[in-house]
Amino acid sequence: MPSIPAAPAAAAPFLPMSRPEMAALGWDACDIVLVSGDAYVDHPAFGVALVGRLLERHGWRVGVIAQPDWRDAGDFAALGRPRLFFGITGGNVDSMIANLSANKRRRRSDDFSPGGRAGLRPDRAAIVYANRAREACPGVPIVLGGLAGGHPGPAGLARRRGFRRARRLSAGRGYG
């Protein structure tokens, strides 16, 4: 396991999202890879940017995978195997709310996707992303965060949909 960085490194002009961007920073690997259901915007209104910059300030090399294709594990291996863990979030808005209207109809747009395109994140995104990350890099710890990682969901949702086991269990072994 990597040791704690001795001194914070200078802030990178961007958090890398590809191998060429990592090479431009002189990195061979990331310590932490953050995965988000939102498009990546390097602004503190977006949780991944905020957490990524905070980790970077403490000396960690942080990469970002934004709105990966969840049907294939390839996008989750784009930055290589992280030295410490994958940090996974469904995004600024719970994926079920982002995908479905109050009438349970598919939404036509997603304000947190490029061009407002709907359908770029799966239902229960954090669970799906955790499974794909585990498929791409077996044995790497996974830390779930954001809305999906820490709260039970809107009141009464479990009753309306029938019981669903806890997200921590659905995400599988290795949940941090």
**Is the Cβ–Cβ distance between 122 and 130 less than 8 Å?**
no
8 pLDDT higher than 60 = yes
- Find the largest Cα–Cα distance for the chain: 53
| Position 175 pLDDT exceeds 50 | no
- pLDDT reading at 159 higher than 70: no
Angle of CA points 76, 78, 84, to nearest 5°: 70
Average pLDDT over residues 75-88: 95
Instruction: Tell me the torsion sign for CA atoms 75, 72, 95, 33.
Output: negative
Q: What is the mean pLDDT of residues 27-55?
A: 90
Which pTM value belongs to this model? 0.76
Query: Which of the four pLDDT bands, split at 50, 70 and 90, describes residue 29?
Result: very high
| CB contact at 8 A, 137 and 82 | yes
